[in-house]
Amino acid sequence: MHRLLNNRHVLGLLFMLPAGLLLLVFLTYPLGLGTWLGFTDAKVGRAGHFVGLENFQFLWGDSVTRLALFNTLFYTAVASVIKFALGLWLALLLNRNLPFKSFFRAVVLLPFIVPTALSALAFWWIYDAQFSIVSWTLMKMGLIHQYIDFLGDPWLARYSTIAANIWRGVPFVAICLLAGLQTIPVSLYEAAALDGATPWQRFRFVTLPLLTPIIAVVMTFSVLFTFTDFQLIYVLTRGGPLNATHLMATLSFQRAISGGSLGEGAAVATAMVPFLLAAILFSYFGLQRRKWQQGARD
Protein backbone atom coordinates (compact mmCIF):
# COMPACT_ATOMS: atom_id res chain seq x y z
CA MET A 1 0.00 0.00 0.00
CA HIS A 2 2.75 2.35 1.03
CA ARG A 3 4.68 1.53 -2.10
CA LEU A 4 1.67 1.95 -4.25
CA LEU A 5 1.05 5.41 -2.87
CA ASN A 6 4.61 6.38 -3.52
CA ASN A 7 4.30 5.43 -7.17
CA ARG A 8 4.13 8.63 -9.24
CA HIS A 9 1.65 7.23 -11.72
CA VAL A 10 -0.73 5.82 -9.17
CA LEU A 11 -0.60 9.03 -7.21
CA GLY A 12 -1.15 11.04 -10.33
CA LEU A 13 -4.23 9.07 -11.24
CA LEU A 14 -5.50 9.35 -7.72
CA PHE A 15 -5.19 13.12 -7.76
CA MET A 16 -6.96 13.35 -11.07
CA LEU A 17 -9.80 11.14 -9.96
CA PRO A 18 -11.96 13.84 -8.29
CA ALA A 19 -11.72 16.17 -11.28
CA GLY A 20 -12.37 13.27 -13.62
CA LEU A 21 -15.39 12.19 -11.66
CA LEU A 22 -16.79 15.71 -11.63
CA LEU A 23 -16.40 15.97 -15.39
CA LEU A 24 -17.95 12.59 -15.89
CA VAL A 25 -20.94 13.18 -13.66
CA PHE A 26 -21.69 16.79 -14.47
CA LEU A 27 -20.52 17.10 -18.05
CA THR A 28 -20.24 13.84 -19.92
CA TYR A 29 -23.33 12.21 -18.48
CA PRO A 30 -25.77 15.11 -19.08
CA LEU A 31 -24.36 15.66 -22.56
CA GLY A 32 -24.67 11.97 -23.37
CA LEU A 33 -28.15 11.81 -21.90
CA GLY A 34 -29.23 14.89 -23.84
CA THR A 35 -27.95 13.43 -27.07
CA TRP A 36 -29.63 10.12 -26.36
CA LEU A 37 -32.95 11.84 -25.57
CA GLY A 38 -32.82 13.45 -29.00
CA PHE A 39 -33.20 9.98 -30.49
CA THR A 40 -36.19 9.05 -28.35
CA ASP A 41 -39.78 10.20 -28.05
CA ALA A 42 -39.43 10.98 -24.33
CA LYS A 43 -41.89 13.36 -22.73
CA VAL A 44 -41.24 15.31 -19.55
CA GLY A 45 -41.29 12.66 -16.87
CA ARG A 46 -42.08 9.81 -19.23
CA ALA A 47 -39.25 7.60 -20.46
CA GLY A 48 -39.20 7.40 -24.23
CA HIS A 49 -38.52 4.75 -26.82
CA PHE A 50 -35.76 4.88 -29.35
CA VAL A 51 -37.14 6.36 -32.54
CA GLY A 52 -33.95 6.75 -34.54
CA LEU A 53 -33.78 9.89 -36.62
CA GLU A 54 -37.49 10.59 -36.52
CA ASN A 55 -37.14 13.76 -34.45
CA PHE A 56 -34.52 15.13 -36.77
CA GLN A 57 -36.56 14.23 -39.81
CA PHE A 58 -39.51 16.10 -38.40
CA LEU A 59 -37.42 19.10 -37.38
CA TRP A 60 -35.93 19.31 -40.85
CA GLY A 61 -39.41 19.74 -42.29
CA ASP A 62 -40.68 21.98 -39.48
CA SER A 63 -40.95 25.58 -40.59
CA VAL A 64 -40.45 26.96 -37.08
CA THR A 65 -37.24 25.00 -36.55
CA ARG A 66 -35.90 26.12 -39.91
CA LEU A 67 -36.70 29.70 -39.03
CA ALA A 68 -34.99 29.26 -35.65
CA LEU A 69 -31.90 27.86 -37.36
CA PHE A 70 -31.79 30.80 -39.73
CA ASN A 71 -32.32 33.21 -36.82
CA THR A 72 -29.53 31.60 -34.83
CA LEU A 73 -27.03 31.70 -37.69
CA PHE A 74 -27.94 35.27 -38.52
CA TYR A 75 -27.85 36.34 -34.89
CA THR A 76 -24.49 34.67 -34.31
CA ALA A 77 -22.87 35.90 -37.50
CA VAL A 78 -23.91 39.53 -37.23
CA ALA A 79 -23.39 39.81 -33.49
CA SER A 80 -20.00 38.08 -33.54
CA VAL A 81 -18.57 40.18 -36.34
CA ILE A 82 -19.69 43.43 -34.74
CA LYS A 83 -18.56 42.31 -31.30
CA PHE A 84 -15.16 41.51 -32.72
CA ALA A 85 -14.80 44.82 -34.52
CA LEU A 86 -15.99 46.90 -31.58
CA GLY A 87 -14.07 44.78 -29.08
CA LEU A 88 -10.82 45.11 -30.97
CA TRP A 89 -11.31 48.83 -31.40
CA LEU A 90 -12.04 49.25 -27.71
CA ALA A 91 -9.04 47.13 -26.77
CA LEU A 92 -6.74 49.24 -28.93
CA LEU A 93 -8.09 52.40 -27.34
CA LEU A 94 -7.71 51.05 -23.84
CA ASN A 95 -4.21 49.90 -24.61
CA ARG A 96 -3.09 53.49 -25.05
CA ASN A 97 -1.93 55.65 -22.22
CA LEU A 98 -5.20 57.26 -21.27
CA PRO A 99 -5.84 59.26 -18.13
CA PHE A 100 -7.75 57.17 -15.56
CA LYS A 101 -6.72 54.08 -17.48
CA SER A 102 -7.61 51.51 -14.87
CA PHE A 103 -10.91 53.23 -14.14
CA PHE A 104 -11.98 52.97 -17.76
CA ARG A 105 -10.83 49.39 -17.99
CA ALA A 106 -12.96 48.50 -14.99
CA VAL A 107 -16.00 50.40 -16.23
CA VAL A 108 -15.88 48.72 -19.62
CA LEU A 109 -16.51 45.41 -17.95
CA LEU A 110 -19.81 46.53 -16.43
CA PRO A 111 -22.20 45.22 -19.07
CA PHE A 112 -20.54 41.85 -18.73
CA ILE A 113 -20.84 41.83 -14.96
CA VAL A 114 -24.53 42.71 -14.72
CA PRO A 115 -26.61 39.51 -14.70
CA THR A 116 -28.04 38.98 -18.16
CA ALA A 117 -31.58 38.62 -16.88
CA LEU A 118 -31.32 42.11 -15.36
CA SER A 119 -29.79 43.84 -18.36
CA ALA A 120 -32.34 42.05 -20.53
CA LEU A 121 -35.11 43.56 -18.41
CA ALA A 122 -33.59 47.00 -18.92
CA PHE A 123 -33.56 46.40 -22.66
CA TRP A 124 -37.13 45.18 -22.46
CA TRP A 125 -38.12 48.63 -21.22
CA ILE A 126 -35.86 50.37 -23.71
CA TYR A 127 -37.53 48.45 -26.55
CA ASP A 128 -41.08 48.62 -25.14
CA ALA A 129 -43.70 49.39 -27.74
CA GLN A 130 -45.33 52.03 -25.53
CA PHE A 131 -42.70 53.17 -23.04
CA SER A 132 -39.45 53.06 -24.98
CA ILE A 133 -37.11 55.84 -23.88
CA VAL A 134 -35.50 55.81 -27.31
CA SER A 135 -38.80 56.36 -29.06
CA TRP A 136 -39.78 58.96 -26.50
CA THR A 137 -36.58 60.93 -26.99
CA LEU A 138 -36.81 60.82 -30.76
CA MET A 139 -40.46 61.90 -30.57
CA LYS A 140 -39.59 64.86 -28.36
CA MET A 141 -36.85 65.83 -30.79
CA GLY A 142 -39.44 65.66 -33.55
CA LEU A 143 -37.48 63.08 -35.52
CA ILE A 144 -40.20 60.44 -35.58
CA HIS A 145 -43.97 60.64 -35.38
CA GLN A 146 -44.76 57.19 -34.11
CA TYR A 147 -43.14 54.97 -31.52
CA ILE A 148 -40.67 52.53 -33.02
CA ASP A 149 -41.95 48.97 -32.90
CA PHE A 150 -38.60 47.52 -31.79
CA LEU A 151 -39.78 44.06 -30.87
CA GLY A 152 -42.98 43.90 -32.92
CA ASP A 153 -41.57 43.95 -36.43
CA PRO A 154 -39.73 40.72 -37.32
CA TRP A 155 -36.58 42.29 -38.78
CA LEU A 156 -36.47 45.14 -36.31
CA ALA A 157 -36.82 42.61 -33.51
CA ARG A 158 -33.88 40.62 -34.87
CA TYR A 159 -31.68 43.71 -35.00
CA SER A 160 -32.83 44.88 -31.58
CA THR A 161 -31.98 41.60 -29.90
CA ILE A 162 -28.64 41.53 -31.71
CA ALA A 163 -27.90 45.04 -30.45
CA ALA A 164 -28.61 43.97 -26.89
CA ASN A 165 -26.38 40.94 -27.31
CA ILE A 166 -23.57 43.09 -28.68
CA TRP A 167 -23.84 45.52 -25.80
CA ARG A 168 -23.41 42.65 -23.43
CA GLY A 169 -20.69 40.80 -25.33
CA VAL A 170 -18.28 43.56 -26.33
CA PRO A 171 -16.56 43.90 -22.92
CA PHE A 172 -15.60 40.24 -22.88
CA VAL A 173 -13.95 40.50 -26.29
CA ALA A 174 -12.35 43.86 -25.48
CA ILE A 175 -10.80 42.84 -22.17
CA CYS A 176 -9.47 39.54 -23.50
CA LEU A 177 -7.94 41.23 -26.53
CA LEU A 178 -6.51 43.92 -24.28
CA ALA A 179 -4.75 41.22 -22.31
CA GLY A 180 -3.40 39.89 -25.59
CA LEU A 181 -2.22 43.31 -26.70
CA GLN A 182 -0.23 43.74 -23.54
CA THR A 183 1.79 40.60 -24.21
CA ILE A 184 3.14 42.08 -27.44
CA PRO A 185 6.66 43.38 -26.75
CA VAL A 186 7.07 47.13 -27.22
CA SER A 187 10.42 46.51 -28.89
CA LEU A 188 8.66 45.08 -31.94
CA TYR A 189 6.78 48.33 -32.41
CA GLU A 190 9.97 50.30 -31.95
CA ALA A 191 11.74 48.20 -34.54
CA ALA A 192 8.84 48.62 -36.93
CA ALA A 193 8.81 52.36 -36.33
CA LEU A 194 12.55 52.55 -37.07
CA ASP A 195 11.91 50.75 -40.34
CA GLY A 196 9.47 53.51 -41.17
CA ALA A 197 6.24 51.49 -40.77
CA THR A 198 3.03 53.50 -40.79
CA PRO A 199 0.56 52.98 -37.90
CA TRP A 200 -1.59 50.86 -40.21
CA GLN A 201 1.42 48.73 -41.17
CA ARG A 202 2.34 48.32 -37.52
CA PHE A 203 -1.16 47.11 -36.81
CA ARG A 204 -1.32 44.87 -39.83
CA PHE A 205 2.11 43.25 -39.58
CA VAL A 206 2.87 43.34 -35.86
CA THR A 207 -0.29 43.55 -33.80
CA LEU A 208 -2.61 41.36 -35.83
CA PRO A 209 -0.32 38.35 -36.35
CA LEU A 210 0.72 38.29 -32.71
CA LEU A 211 -2.85 38.70 -31.57
CA THR A 212 -4.30 35.96 -33.76
CA PRO A 213 -3.99 33.12 -31.24
CA ILE A 214 -5.88 35.17 -28.67
CA ILE A 215 -8.43 36.23 -31.27
CA ALA A 216 -8.98 32.60 -32.13
CA VAL A 217 -9.72 31.67 -28.54
CA VAL A 218 -11.80 34.73 -27.76
CA MET A 219 -13.88 34.52 -30.88
CA THR A 220 -14.47 30.82 -30.41
CA PHE A 221 -15.90 31.53 -27.01
CA SER A 222 -17.81 34.54 -28.27
CA VAL A 223 -19.39 32.53 -31.06
CA LEU A 224 -20.29 29.73 -28.68
CA PHE A 225 -21.91 32.13 -26.20
CA THR A 226 -23.86 33.87 -28.92
CA PHE A 227 -24.97 30.72 -30.63
CA THR A 228 -26.32 29.29 -27.41
CA ASP A 229 -27.89 32.54 -26.12
CA PHE A 230 -31.10 32.03 -24.21
CA GLN A 231 -31.79 34.49 -21.40
CA LEU A 232 -31.83 37.61 -23.50
CA ILE A 233 -34.37 36.27 -25.96
CA TYR A 234 -36.47 34.66 -23.27
CA VAL A 235 -36.89 37.92 -21.39
CA LEU A 236 -37.23 40.21 -24.40
CA THR A 237 -39.50 38.32 -26.76
CA ARG A 238 -39.87 34.65 -25.84
CA GLY A 239 -39.08 34.02 -29.48
CA GLY A 240 -41.75 36.33 -30.89
CA PRO A 241 -42.90 38.20 -32.91
CA LEU A 242 -44.07 35.44 -35.24
CA ASN A 243 -41.06 33.36 -34.07
CA ALA A 244 -38.73 35.87 -35.71
CA THR A 245 -36.29 35.83 -32.80
CA HIS A 246 -36.58 32.21 -31.74
CA LEU A 247 -33.09 30.78 -31.40
CA MET A 248 -32.31 27.09 -31.27
CA ALA A 249 -31.84 27.32 -27.51
CA THR A 250 -35.16 29.05 -26.81
CA LEU A 251 -37.01 26.76 -29.18
CA SER A 252 -35.44 23.76 -27.50
CA PHE A 253 -36.70 24.99 -24.14
CA GLN A 254 -40.16 25.77 -25.45
CA ARG A 255 -40.56 22.35 -27.01
CA ALA A 256 -38.92 20.34 -24.23
CA ILE A 257 -40.04 21.96 -21.00
CA SER A 258 -43.14 24.08 -21.68
CA GLY A 259 -44.40 21.72 -24.35
CA GLY A 260 -43.27 18.55 -22.62
CA SER A 261 -41.69 17.01 -25.74
CA LEU A 262 -38.37 16.26 -24.12
CA GLY A 263 -37.16 14.14 -27.04
CA GLU A 264 -37.90 16.75 -29.65
CA GLY A 265 -36.44 19.56 -27.56
CA ALA A 266 -33.28 17.53 -27.00
CA ALA A 267 -33.09 16.95 -30.74
CA VAL A 268 -33.21 20.71 -31.34
CA ALA A 269 -30.38 21.13 -28.85
CA THR A 270 -28.41 18.27 -30.39
CA ALA A 271 -28.85 19.81 -33.81
CA MET A 272 -26.80 22.76 -32.54
CA VAL A 273 -23.76 20.58 -31.87
CA PRO A 274 -22.49 20.23 -35.46
CA PHE A 275 -22.51 24.00 -35.85
CA LEU A 276 -20.67 24.50 -32.59
CA LEU A 277 -18.13 21.84 -33.50
CA ALA A 278 -17.59 23.52 -36.85
CA ALA A 279 -16.92 26.82 -35.11
CA ILE A 280 -14.43 25.21 -32.74
CA LEU A 281 -12.64 23.29 -35.47
CA PHE A 282 -12.39 26.37 -37.62
CA SER A 283 -10.74 28.34 -34.89
CA TYR A 284 -8.38 25.58 -33.81
CA PHE A 285 -7.25 24.30 -37.15
CA GLY A 286 -7.58 27.53 -39.02
CA LEU A 287 -6.87 30.57 -36.92
CA GLN A 288 -4.23 28.86 -34.84
CA ARG A 289 -2.12 27.83 -37.79
CA ARG A 290 1.34 29.22 -37.55
CA LYS A 291 1.46 29.88 -41.27
CA TRP A 292 -1.61 32.05 -41.10
CA GLN A 293 -0.34 33.85 -38.09
CA GLN A 294 2.84 34.72 -39.89
CA GLY A 295 0.87 36.17 -42.72
CA ALA A 296 1.57 33.38 -45.20
CA ARG A 297 -1.08 31.63 -47.18
CA ASP A 298 -1.60 27.95 -47.80
Partner 1 sequence: MSKFSRRDFLKTTAGAAAAGTLGVGSTMWSGEALAQSQWAPEKGAKLRVLRWKRFVQGDEDMWLANTKKFTEKTGIEVRVDSEGWEDVRPKAAVAANVGSGPDVIISTFEDAHQYPDKLVDVSDVCNYLGGKYGGWYDVCKSYCTEKGKWIAVPMGCAGNAIVHRISVMKEAGFSEFPKDLAGFLKLAQAYKAKGLPPGFALGNATGDGNVWCHWLVWAHGGKMVDEKGNVVIASPETEAALNYGKQLYDTFIPGTLSWLDPNNNKAFLDGQIGMTANGISIYYAAKTSQDPKLKAMADDIGHANFPVGPIGKTTELNLFFPMMLFKYSKYPKAAKAYLAFMMEKEQYEPWQQAAIGYVSHPLVAYEKNPLWASDPKNAPYSNSMKVMLPNGYAGPMGYASAATMADFIMVNMVAEAASGAKTPKEAMERAKARAERYYKV
Residue numbers at the binding site for partner 1 (CB under 8 A): 43-47, 58, 62-64, 127-131, 146-147, 149-154, 157, 237-243, 254-255, 257-261
CA neighbours closer than 13 Å in the CB half-sphere of residue 99: 0
Task: Provide, rounded to whole angstroms, the least separation between the CB of residue 252 and partner 1.
Answer: 12
CB-nearer residue toward partner 1: 62 or 188:
62
CB-nearer residue toward partner 1: 37 or 91:
37
Task: Provide, rounded to whole angstroms, the least separation between the CB of residue 154 and partner 1.
Answer: 7
Task: Provide, rounded to whole angstroms, the least separation between the CB of residue 82 and partner 1.
Answer: 23
**241 cis-preceded (ω within 30 degrees of 0):** yes
Does the CA dihedral 280-165-172-22 come out positive or negative? negative
CB-nearer residue toward partner 1: 36 or 225:
36
* Per-residue CA distances from 87 to 94, 101, 168, 221, 235 (Å): 10, 17, 11, 14, 25
CB 269 within 8 A of CB 252: yes
Task: Provide, rounded to whole angstroms, the least separation between the CB of residue 257 and partner 1.
Answer: 5
CB-nearer residue toward partner 1: 205 or 230:
230
Q: Taking Cα atoms as reference points, which of 211, 176, 223 lies closest to residue 81?
A: 223
For residue 285, count CB atoms less than 10 angstroms from its CB and return exposed for 0-12, middle for 13-18, buried for 19 or more. exposed
Task: Provide, rounded to whole angstroms, the least separation between the CB of residue 281 and partner 1.
Answer: 33
Task: Provide, rounded to whole angstroms, the least separation between the CB of residue 159 and partner 1.
Answer: 13
CA 129 to chain CA centroid, nearest Å = 27
Torsion of CA 176, 71, 115, 281, to 10 degrees: -30
CB-nearer residue toward partner 1: 209 or 240:
240
CB 112 within 8 A of CB 171: yes
Cα separation, 279 vs 275, whole angstroms: 6
CB-nearer residue toward partner 1: 61 or 196:
61
Task: Provide, rounded to whole angstroms, the least separation between the CB of residue 45 and partner 1.
Answer: 3
Task: Provide, rounded to whole angstroms, the least separation between the CB of residue 239 and partner 1.
Answer: 5
CB-nearer residue toward partner 1: 84 or 253:
253
* Per-residue CA distances from 69 to 38, 78, 126, 187, 265 (Å): 17, 14, 27, 47, 14
What letter represents residue 168's amino acid? R
CB 94 within 8 A of CB 104: yes
CB-nearer residue toward partner 1: 157 or 232:
157
